[in-house]
Structure 1
Amino acid sequence: MKRYIVFTAAGAGLFSSLSAQIYFPSLSVLANDLNVSTSMINLTVTSYMIFQGIAPMFIGSFADQTGRRPAYIICFVIYIASNIGLALQDSYAALIILRCMQASGISSTVALSAATVADVATKEERGTYMGFTMAGNFMGPAIGPIIGGLLAQYLGWRSTFWFLVIASGAFLLPLLFFLPETARNVVGDGTQPAQPWNRPFIQYLSPQKYADRPATSSSSETGSEDSIQEIKHKLRFPNPLHPLKIVCHVNSIIVLAVTGVIMAGNMTVLSSITSTYTDLYGLDELEIGLCYIAMGCGSIVASVSTGRMLDWNFKRMAAKNESDAVTSGKQLQEVPVEKARAMITTPLVVLGSLTTLAFGWVLYYKAPLAAPEVILFFVGIGQTGGFISTSTLLVDLHSSNPAAATAANNFVRSLFSAGASAVIDPMLAAMGRGWTFTLVAFVLLATIPFLLLLCGMGRKKDAPNVEKQ
């Protein structure tokens, strides 16, 4: 059951990144069909990113209070409705409003996915499951431009949104029937029943079969470290400021800042590929879409390998401290989780920085296309791996409110990414490709002292507002 839950979380996160990337090949066609300028069409990308950061602040708080299942369902209902509207609309005003609605619906699934992993996985295995979940999110940049390019070229831009309607609808049905509630505020350690309206449909079809079963299998799989003795089921209006409030601690602020810088660096690379490859190599939309595969594959490799490295290092430190981290949840508090995660993050940030530097200079010297593509693979490993590591640490620090903490993380990285996408073109025009990415690389390297600072911040030194797991 745990693997099914994590697989579902990974699939939900895929739609968030896919929706952003699949849209890019249709930009020029949309501008022509709607009789607007390219800059006005680009506003639909900017507005998408803004709502991508804001919406999870509401849904994350709601999911921690009420449950993951209703949050997932709300997200996909809004998302499917907005995609239907996007496929049918014929005006620029409708396009930009529905794009904001689309982002509001699906962007929260990233926070929900991380929260779901926190519900069912302990610290010593959380890295692997977080990596697998993030692999779904980072598949979007690999396959989104390809799918979008093929659909826009052969079936028209409307087919892009119809594809998302069909795919998300096919995903929502098994979620409704089989996904159990996992939120600890609702089902505790898995032995408490969820609200009657918050149970998988399969339980209503076979009530006798599921009558005596717990809401989730997390009790036996995650131990008692997050057990909640009394569960009070209340529906409350989500507080969008709650995610920012719970991360208001020096450790969390450092993690958020480092994550934001990493994702800003990632966005500078992604945003520059289309214009740079068009100028240097004369590629069309579909060919440029194929060029994103290298970085996407690196991101997927990082998603799998980084999680395993995080778990290995946590267990190594637990053994070094002579604590039985696997069988004793209490002893987990003896492992300095900040140091355990930051030790893996640091070399990944170095890799992402140096490969970003190399990417800029091979473009400056107009190297053959194979050169920047090989480098992009390693950029994906370094930057994505760093992001997964810091995201896992933030969930570790706020295991009682993982959806809200991840929503705050999403808000910060969206702001950083939006800023990076806005300044990269002026930087390239003013400084050239080589020096632009040299500056980006040094900004990324500037996070290393903060990661080293995290290594010295143990759990016993934390303030009370950082939840203990």
Structure 2
Amino acid sequence: MAPPTPTAKDPEKNSDCIVQDAAPVVTTTCTSTNPMTTISIPPEPQPQEEEEEPYTIFSRHLKLFIILMSATSSLFSPVSSMIYLPALDVLADYYHVSITRINLSVTTYMILQALAPMFFGDMADQLGRRPIYITTLTIYVAANIGLATQSDYGALLVLRALQSSGSSGTVALGNAVMADIAAPAERSGYISYVQAGMMLGPAIAPTIGGVLTQFLGWRALFWFLTIASGTYLVLYIPFVPETCRKIVENGSIPPQDWNRSIWNARFDRKIKVSEGAEHESHENLRKARKNELAGKRSLAIPNPLRTLRVIAEKDVALTMLLTSLLTTGFYMLMVPIPSVFADVYGFNQIQIGLCYLPMSAGSVLGTIAAGKLLDWNFRRIAHLENHPVHLRRGHDLRHFPIERARLQYLPLPTLISSLVILVWGWTLSSHTSLAAPLVLLFIGGACIPAAMNMQQALLIDMYPQSPATVTAAVNLCRCALSAGGTAIVQVVVDGVGLGWCYTIVGGVVGVVGGIAVWAGIKFGPRWREERFVREETRQREKERERGEGDSNEG
């Protein structure tokens, strides 16, 4: 027997009404002296969750284009540094100076390579990526034209410094752009493409430099760089949009009028031709946000102290130290190749340049593989921690174990890198067959950049609001330690020999790497939270001082 159906009284008609819930309406059937009637009552509207805006509105094809342009720009600094090396002897003869004096142009380049991003990185985080990209690349193109046409040693030194300032300024921007357009769950894969460009440059540049110097002369080096950078600039200015989140948020807020690309103009035109109250409301919101951001935009005075403050943070210092040691080891692998390979194997400049290609292939494969691994591990740990993963929206990483997500697999490539550096010296001193050093170059080229990519992703996650500044800080440490390492490597080799020199370097990388990973995972979250608390306290003090100032003015 079916259970009785609940009834309700209709006070007006004094009848029994059966209320049945049926989506999407509630149907009330009333029985009285009148014929049966059915009254449909609409359900109460249910509150709908407000749809969150995507992390970026850029289409997949536009993001691919931005990635390609950012990875290409990261080539200019390392290529400009390494393409120059095969021509040192030729330039010394041309200017009638010693090798020591011509090496000053290399030293000058490396000093500016470390310092310039400190200024440009801070400006890019405040004014936007496009203005700094255009400024630095214009300096770079002008310096290359000057280098290709000058005939004075003093001019060579000055123009090399300008060339370094322009090219190294782009180093701080590539990773920052990836942080602009990629949410943390997929950011490492994006960063890996920029890192691959940075690692690819030192490997292919000597080959290009050797061919151009031997067949076209040393001036062809700078004309080659002029054509490459000029072509890049011609493509960049009209087509690449502004991505800095402080300027355009997720791309939906238009940048400054003078900072618009063709994409910005097309996007604004689509908004304007849209019809309906919803589009009008959206456009009003965009205008309000634009005005709010415009009030915060001002011509920024570069402040290198921001970069130095980043380096002083405990949760950053160890990571930067390991990254700098790995970079030093990477360059120390390449330093003896021209002289040793010429002496042992009798190679000319072109053959020596070809020997860098295994490292080039390893660098590309290692960085891309590391990026994919980090993205997978991020999602895995997020699942274990019940942390929502949004590929189209941002994440609150304050209470997320980002150190574990980025550093968990770092020990393996770090250990292999230290072993490769250690074995490298004994392989060269033993004059083995060519296969041994080439295999080591491939393995080292894969593992060293992979380890560096893992740490770079962590550093950007630590400073998501200032990715260009933290990248400039990393660049400063890497360049400073690499310059010191490459400067003393020959002295150490002369003192203890190739084998023991690289044994010392490999041992230091392995020990420091182990300590850095352990300390980062164990103490990193606490150090990061302390930094958040300090920053919040500083912001509250600024707001209180601003409020007191407004009260006094009133």
Shorter-chain TM-score tier: over 0.9
Q: How many residues align?
A: 455
- Mapped pair 1:270 → 2:331: no
Structure 1 alignment gaps of length 5 or more: 214-226
How far the C-alpha of 1:203 sits from its partner, in A, is: 5.1
How far the C-alpha of 1:212 sits from its partner, in A, is: 7.4
> What's the counterpart of residue 423 of structure 2?
358
C-alpha deviations, 1:406-460, integer Å up to 9, x for none? 0011011000000011111111111111111111110101221121110113546
The answer to whether the 8 A contact 1:80-1:168 is kept is yes
Alpha-carbon RMSD across the aligned residues, in angstroms, is 2.1
The answer to whether the 8 A contact 2:315-2:527 is kept is no
The one-letter code sitting in structure 1 at the alignment partner of 2:239 is F
How far the C-alpha of 1:352 sits from its partner, in A, is: 0.5
TM-score computed with the length of structure 1 as normaliser? 0.92
- Mapped pair 1:450 → 2:450: no
Assess, with a 3 A threshold, how the Cα gap between structure 1 residues 199 and 374 changes in structure 2: closer, same or farther.
same
Alpha-carbon distance between aligned partners in 1 of 2:210 and 2:271, rounded to the nearest angstrom:
45
Alpha-carbon distance between aligned partners in 2 of 1:324 and 1:207, rounded to the nearest angstrom:
33
Alpha-carbon distance between aligned partners in 1 of 2:80 and 2:175, rounded to the nearest angstrom:
19
The answer to whether the 8 A contact 2:241-2:264 is kept is no
C-alpha deviations, 1:39-65, integer Å up to 9, x for none? 111111111111000000000011001
Assess, with a 3 A threshold, how the Cα gap between structure 1 residues 348 and 356 changes in structure 2: closer, same or farther.
same
How far the C-alpha of 1:237 sits from its partner, in A, is: 1.4
Matches within 5 A, 1:86-101: 86-101=147-162
Alpha-carbon distance between aligned partners in 1 of 2:234 and 2:407, rounded to the nearest angstrom:
39
Alpha-carbon distance between aligned partners in 1 of 2:194 and 2:63, rounded to the nearest angstrom:
12
SS at match of 2:500: helix
The answer to whether the 8 A contact 2:398-2:529 is kept is no
SS at match of 1:462: helix
The answer to whether the 8 A contact 2:136-2:167 is kept is yes
Percent identity between matched residues is 39
- Mapped pair 1:244 → 2:308: yes
SS at match of 2:408: helix
The one-letter code sitting in structure 1 at the alignment partner of 2:159 is L
The answer to whether the 8 A contact 2:370-2:454 is kept is yes
Greater RCO, 1 or 2 (C-alpha within 8 Å, sep 6+): 1
The answer to whether the 8 A contact 1:349-1:386 is kept is yes
> What's the counterpart of residue 223 of structure 1?
none
Residues 31-40 or 324-333, more deviating: 324-333
The answer to whether the 8 A contact 1:203-1:210 is kept is no
125, 137, 143: which is aligned to 2:186? 125
How far the C-alpha of 1:276 sits from its partner, in A, is: 1.8
The answer to whether the 8 A contact 2:254-2:264 is kept is no
Matches within 5 A, 1:2-81: 2-81=63-142
Assess, with a 3 A threshold, how the Cα gap between structure 1 residues 464 and 352 changes in structure 2: closer, same or farther.
same
The one-letter code sitting in structure 2 at the alignment partner of 1:237 is I
- Mapped pair 1:298 → 2:362: yes
> What's the counterpart of residue 220 of structure 1?
none
Residues 238-247 or 376-385, more deviating: 238-247
Matches within 5 A, 1:274-423: 274-326=338-390, 329-330=394-395, 332-423=397-488
SS at match of 1:139: helix
Alpha-carbon distance between aligned partners in 2 of 1:206 and 1:457, rounded to the nearest angstrom:
45
Assess, with a 3 A threshold, how the Cα gap between structure 1 residues 34 and 343 changes in structure 2: closer, same or farther.
same
The answer to whether the 8 A contact 2:144-2:225 is kept is yes
Assess, with a 3 A threshold, how the Cα gap between structure 1 residues 206 and 463 changes in structure 2: closer, same or farther.
closer
How far the C-alpha of 1:463 sits from its partner, in A, is: 3.9
> What's the counterpart of residue 224 of structure 1?
none
How far the C-alpha of 1:176 sits from its partner, in A, is: 0.5
Larger proportion of strand: 2
C-alpha deviations, 1:233-276, integer Å up to 9, x for none? 21121112211223431011111111111111112111121222
TM-score computed with the length of structure 2 as normaliser? 0.79
Alpha-carbon distance between aligned partners in 2 of 1:460 and 1:191, rounded to the nearest angstrom:
35
Assess, with a 3 A threshold, how the Cα gap between structure 1 residues 212 and 428 changes in structure 2: closer, same or farther.
farther
Alpha-carbon distance between aligned partners in 1 of 2:530 and 2:152, rounded to the nearest angstrom:
52
- Mapped pair 1:428 → 2:493: yes
Assess, with a 3 A threshold, how the Cα gap between structure 1 residues 211 and 229 changes in structure 2: closer, same or farther.
closer
Structure 2 alignment gaps of length 5 or more: 1-61, 275-288, 537-554
- Mapped pair 1:156 → 2:222: no
Alpha-carbon distance between aligned partners in 1 of 2:528 and 2:443, rounded to the nearest angstrom:
35
Assess, with a 3 A threshold, how the Cα gap between structure 1 residues 394 and 330 changes in structure 2: closer, same or farther.
closer
The answer to whether the 8 A contact 1:395-1:402 is kept is yes
Matches within 5 A, 1:183-198: 183-198=244-259
